[in-house]
Amino acid sequence: MDHDTERLLVGVIHNKYYLKEVIEFLRKEGIKNKGVMLEIAKNRVPSQPPTDGLTFFEELRDFVLAENGLLIYGEDEEILERAYAKNKELYRKMKRPGLSIMQWVELHSENRYHVPFVERDPHFLKVIQEQNPDIVVLGKAHLPYLIEHHFANIPHRDTYIPKE
């Protein structure tokens, strides 16, 4: 894909409640033979929390492949493992007896607003620059970084599911 073609950025809340809406949106957009980057690694990582069945992005991956989209894995397994391991460490610290509310808030803030983005957002950007997907589907909090650091001067359209 060349940089003169409008790219589609889709920011999602990756909760199965919204999966059908995301799938319907992508079906209407048409993904056959289009590069679709998802917030998913090729393989699960050891620190990834267990789930009952497939995750939101695993189900989305299966949809993209079934619709003959060209799947691009957006996650790096080593970076993702570090993020999950750091989350586990922070959760353990947050459960420590005697923790003040301010200490808990600081740990929660790091866990929620720093760990998921510090390495992953630059990696997502690198994948976009190297693979040139037509459509990028990531958690909605990742899109502002991509827009600021890459898409500010590149034709693109962004949407969010749910709308807000």
- pLDDT tops 90 at residue 116: no
Output the pLDDT for position 84.
Answer: 85
Output the pLDDT for position 113.
Answer: 66
What residue segments make up the domains of the chain, in order of their start?
A: 7-161
Output the pLDDT for position 68.
Answer: 97
Average pLDDT over residues 6-16: 92
Is the pLDDT higher at 1 or at 48?
48
24-73: per-residue pLDDT in tens? 999 999 999 999 999 999 998 888 888 888 899 999 999 999 999 999 99
Average pLDDT over residues 96-118: 82
137 close to 38: Cβ distance less than 8 angstroms: yes
Output the pLDDT for position 115.
Answer: 66
DSSP sequence for 38-107: ES--SS--TTSPP-SS--HHHHHHHHHHHTT-EEEE---HHHHHHHHHHHHHHHHHHT-TT--HHHHHHH
| Band of residue 1 on the pLDDT scale cut at 50, 70, 90 | very low
Output the pLDDT for position 3.
Answer: 43
Average pLDDT over residues 4-23: 91
Q: Mean of the per-residue pLDDT values for the chain? A: 89
Average pLDDT over residues 101-129: 85
